Chains A and B, each alone.
Chain A
Amino acid sequence: MSSHLLLMSLGPVQDFIAQARRTRDLWFGSHVLSVLSQKAALAARELRAELVFPALLDEKDPSPSVPNKLLVLVREGEPRTVARAAREAARAHLLHWGMEVWEKHRQLVDDQARKTAEEQLDTLLEFHAAWSAFSTAEDYPEALRRAEDALAARRRLRAFTPWAHQRGGIHKSSLDGARESVLGQGERRGGKWERFRIGRREQLDALGLLKRTGGEPGQFVPVPTIGLAAYTALAKETRPAELAALARECEALGREGWLTRVDAGGKAWVDDFPFDAQVLLPGRWNTHLKEQCLDRERAERFGDTFVRPLLRALGEPFPYVACLVADGDRMGETLRALAPRGSAAHQTLSRALSGFATEARRILQQRHRGVLVYAGGDDVLGFVCLPDALRCAAELYQAFASAMKEALAGSGVPPPTLSVGLGVGHVLESLGDLLTLGRQAEGLAKGEDRDGFALLMRLHSSREYKWRARWPEHPVEALEAAVSLREQGRLPLTKVREVRTLLRRMPSRRAALEDEASWARLLSNELQRVLARVELGSAEAGLTPSEVGLRLENQRTWAELHAHVEAWAERMSLAEVLARAKPRSRGATGGES
């Protein structure tokens, strides 16, 4: 008797999660997708389908991390029936959830928009499934390949229908720019408008409303609180009285409804300052508190009395945060290589990945000052404060390597690696834009040869720096060494700028040069001259290329040498920013280079 291997995918994932302005939009968007995948998988299990990927499913888990691609074995019955049940379970749950929020927050919505909202909720889900029959264990790999190919091909047609329930003349959602807003049109003051921080000119569609109001306001750690975690930790250590006074005042403002206390949710570092830390940024406490309708005078008094003493002692905080995006490399190949060992081998791998997800949460939230948004399968998405970001990335990489080595021991299948990207942006950027930076960094980390790490930083001035290396090249250690050079003042920033200028004056990396060796010699000599020169007033001796991490002798061609020096300059610029991100008791000034 033949069984069927059924592969299902639920979406949209990346676009839907990225449609986020506030922290809670991103957190809840990711949560919605996980819950929908959980519902779909449970519906399949109810029809006696056997879960392969994910192998473990806790139906009571209120915050599941279930991947959006599900692989199940249908030993009896019709796979079409199973797929349809999974789809309808996810769709019905979303509609029910969205309308529950609608009813709960009637103050926020326009009654005329009910049909629009229902349509938006009912049409979000993109569901695709493909199944293939197999009779023996030997046929399992071929059935998997056929189902994977069919699903990939089927997803090349994204069938859609036009909107049927638009009202016209209505602004579009500030999150996706396409769906009509369902918010009420009257004055937005007080109550839930402020509680859920819906701006006066902000617009939300039914899905945006679900993301914004689906959780409790204090449930999500604001991104500025993550970005400034090292600063508040230093404040607690060196200026406990001032920080305590500030926290007491925030608490008092919280009791009056102007600020919301953040629920640490087991993340000990949040307790250092359990409020939105953007009140620590000069120029923001006024704006932030005024948004909450606190009068200007009181907002200014708050800043002058409670924040400025800290700023005088510690300098201004460096307002950047890292979005960490990690993804397993060549996981598809690993699954295919394991397929001849049958579904049990896939289930073992899936369980190992679930274990890694738990470990990822611990690494981000307990070992470092970060927050995990999602960890399902080999995907990790989170935010971490900049001074912790490099070590956090390295520990994740190690944890993944250990989990895969153990899961694949004795199978003869090489363990997959993990590429990790850190996208760094301003703490007041929209969450969607920070996520885009993280994903770009992840793409850069993967490169052509995978097993990579990348750091991509976009400063508020729109200046961008990026650097990538493979994990076997010890990228974190290389960056830390560069940070040390900058912290010790051994490598002035002027020299880095001089090297950049020098590169600009040379032929481009792609130039076809007849006398390549001469150009390479010229560039090497010039670099040595720039580094060796002793700056006026410096007691230090000059530097050699190897002391600053330049390996000029290893570069065989002009293109390689050019790329190596360019990457070095990027690394040094990133190191400069990383050095400034470390809070210090005195002398830190913030701002940008």
Chain B
Amino acid sequence: MNTARFALLPRDGLFCKDGRGWYTSDVGRSHSYAWPPPSTLRGALRAVWGQRALQVRGARAPSAEEWEQATQGVSLGRMLSLRRPLEEPFAPRHRMWPTPADALVVGGRVRRLLPRPHPEVHTLGTEDDDALEALWRPMAPAGKPKPPLPFWTEESLVGWLRGQAPSSPGVTGPERRVDVRVTLNAASQTAEPGMLYQAEVLEMLDGEEREWALGLECTHPGEASGFPWGPVGLGGKRRLALAEPVQAELFTAPRELPDRSPGLRLILATPAHFRRGWLPDGLEREEHEGRPCWMGELPGVEGRVVLRAALVNRPMELSTWDMARGKPRPTRRLVPAGSTYFFERVDGRPFTALKTLWLAAWGSDHEEGLGRVLPGSWNPNEEDT
């Protein structure tokens, strides 16, 4: 297997339609994901690989199985959101991260949500689950929280992983614009009367003379110098994205990352697919300190751990399209990026190798770039936000 590292720069905006189709209104409006799901990117790269394989092999159209087999070795590894001033080469300082779920903006300041046990006030959820209700909960600071901005800069995130609140509440994502188009009559090549349709497009150039891009680490079978060999058709209507080679350094862990911590905080950098929904794979229901809990071993994490708290928003419902078979796939319910989990070691010892968890893969469907985590420090005894 070989690894290619490059940034994709959409040149005409980006449009990744969600599962609703075009029939959301009488005026034909589609809706786009807020940020391209990793699966869309892998799909685009598989298409590039498959088309090259076809060119080499000859004219016969492959069956769905042949296409699947020829392209399944193309996998997405670590995936980054990037934003740089125009013309600058990509560097780690240009990385952008999903806003962590343990951050809250109140009164213009970013505050940390620190979970603690609260046995005196009881709760009940959608299902009866005493282990879930026994999880620690964060107490929010007084005041009405503002909706979070979707992205954080590298500087803000690195400080956050060390337990320091950033001064900025974050960065708004790329602007959205609505493209209004007409349906053409295939026979006459003229516009069909009244057949307007509208697509939500992410505009990747922002008003501050910066451009958004996607940094990708992609493994592929065999030698393939220069992959992806030119512009890539990406998302709806296969809008063109240029590929620009980047250095391996772009994906490496920052030096300032903490290595030791009494507790472990894992933040999802990309959505994750777990077997049981919100609950990370590897944890089982047990008893700890006389209370029901989830315990187990996690990939790359030292010792047995107990889940102390989880901050998870509603699932990201990913409904993808099987291009080879021309059919929709079943919907997967993913834990959204930014979700945060808090762990302690069962033996009470600290975690001493946080850096090895930098963008490690968690859950299933790693080949689609899902389940990459960011390790952060956490002091389970800390209460003050």
B87: Cβ under 8 A from any A Cβ: no
Contact B20 A202, beta carbon cutoff 8 Å: no
Determine the chain A residues whose CB is within 8 A of the CB of B120 once the complex forms. 132, 146
Among A12, A128, A160, the most chain B Cβ lie within 10 Å of the Cβ of A160
Determine the chain B residues whose CB is within 8 A of the CB of A158 once the complex forms. 278, 312-315
Contact B312 A79, beta carbon cutoff 8 Å: no
Contact A153 B328, beta carbon cutoff 8 Å: no
With both beta carbons as reference points, the residue of chain A lying nearest to B319 in the complex is identified as A172
B139: Cβ under 8 A from any A Cβ: yes
Contact of A199 (CB < 8 Å), options: B23, B27, B275, B278: B23
Among A162, A170, A175, A426, the most chain B Cβ lie within 10 Å of the Cβ of A162
Interface residues of A in 113-164 (CB under 8 A from B): 125-132, 146-147, 149-154, 156-163
Known contacts A125-B126, A150-B121, A154-B123; A172/B140 CB under 8 A: no
Docked CA distance A83–B125 (Å): 9
Contact B327 A169, beta carbon cutoff 8 Å: yes
Contact B21 A201, beta carbon cutoff 8 Å: yes
Docked CA distance A129–B127 (Å): 11
Contact A80 B124, beta carbon cutoff 8 Å: yes
Contact B24 A21, beta carbon cutoff 8 Å: yes
Segment with Cβ contacts to B, from A387-395, A427-435, A493-501:
A427-435
Docked CA distance A555–B277 (Å): 54
Among A152, A156, A199, A461, the most chain B Cβ lie within 10 Å of the Cβ of A156
Contact B29 A166, beta carbon cutoff 8 Å: no
Contact A157 B327, beta carbon cutoff 8 Å: no
Contact B328 A169, beta carbon cutoff 8 Å: yes
Determine the chain A residues whose CB is within 8 A of the CB of B70 once the complex forms. none
Closest chain-A Cβ to B268's Cβ sits at a distance in Å of 14
Closest chain-B Cβ to A526's Cβ sits at a distance in Å of 24
Segment with Cβ contacts to A, from B41-49, B54-62, B164-172, B329-337:
B329-337
What's the count of A-B pairs with C-beta under 8 Å? 179
Interface residues of B in 171-203 (CB under 8 A from A): 177-180, 193-194, 196, 198
A509: Cβ under 8 A from any B Cβ: no
A287: Cβ under 8 A from any B Cβ: yes
Closest chain-A Cβ to B365's Cβ sits at a distance in Å of 12
Determine the chain B residues whose CB is within 8 A of the CB of A460 once the complex forms. 27, 180, 196
Closest chain-A Cβ to B121's Cβ sits at a distance in Å of 4
Contact of B137 (CB < 8 Å), options: A84, A150, A168: A150
With both beta carbons as reference points, the residue of chain B lying nearest to A151 in the complex is identified as B123
With both beta carbons as reference points, the residue of chain B lying nearest to A127 in the complex is identified as B126
A174: Cβ under 8 A from any B Cβ: yes
Contact B139 A430, beta carbon cutoff 8 Å: no
With both beta carbons as reference points, the residue of chain B lying nearest to A83 in the complex is identified as B124
A50: Cβ under 8 A from any B Cβ: no
Docked CA distance A171–B17 (Å): 14
Interface residues on A, range: 35 or more
Contact of B126 (CB < 8 Å), options: A87, A168, A174: A87
Determine the chain A residues whose CB is within 8 A of the CB of B319 once the complex forms. 172, 177-178
Known contacts A21-B24, A147-B121, A177-B317; A156/B311 CB under 8 A: yes
Contact A150 B331, beta carbon cutoff 8 Å: no
Contact A168 B113, beta carbon cutoff 8 Å: no
B225: Cβ under 8 A from any A Cβ: no
Docked CA distance A284–B195 (Å): 11
Determine the chain A residues whose CB is within 8 A of the CB of B140 once the complex forms. 149, 152-153
B305: Cβ under 8 A from any A Cβ: no
Contact B20 A162, beta carbon cutoff 8 Å: no
A271: Cβ under 8 A from any B Cβ: no
With both beta carbons as reference points, the residue of chain B lying nearest to A428 in the complex is identified as B26
Determine the chain A residues whose CB is within 8 A of the CB of B325 once the complex forms. 169
Contact A283 B314, beta carbon cutoff 8 Å: no
Determine the chain B residues whose CB is within 8 A of the CB of A359 once the complex forms. none
Docked CA distance A433–B277 (Å): 29
Contact of B25 (CB < 8 Å), options: A12, A21, A166, A462: A21
Contact of A178 (CB < 8 Å), options: B19, B23, B126, B179: B19
Closest chain-B Cβ to A201's Cβ sits at a distance in Å of 6
Docked CA distance A430–B279 (Å): 35
Contact B124 A287, beta carbon cutoff 8 Å: no
Interface residues of A in 437-462 (CB under 8 A from B): 460-462
A176: Cβ under 8 A from any B Cβ: yes
Closest chain-A Cβ to B256's Cβ sits at a distance in Å of 27
Q: List 25 contacting pairs A-B, 8 Å CB cutoff, sorted by A.
A: A127-B126, A128-B124, A128-B126, A130-B124, A132-B121, A147-B121, A156-B311, A156-B312, A157-B278, A158-B313, A159-B126, A160-B315, A161-B277, A162-B333, A163-B333, A167-B330, A170-B328, A172-B19, A176-B317, A202-B23, A203-B23, A428-B26, A429-B29, A433-B24, A462-B179
> Which A residues have a C-beta under 8 Å from some C-beta of B?
12, 15, 21, 79-80, 83-84, 87, 125-132, 146-147, 149-154, 156-163, 166-180, 199, 201-203, 283-284, 287, 332, 426, 428-430, 432-433, 460-462
- Not counting A156-B137, A171-B328, a sample of 11 additional A-B residue pairs whose C-beta atoms are within 8 angstroms of each other reads A79-B122, A127-B124, A130-B124, A150-B121, A150-B123, A153-B137, A158-B278, A166-B331, A172-B19, A429-B29, A462-B198
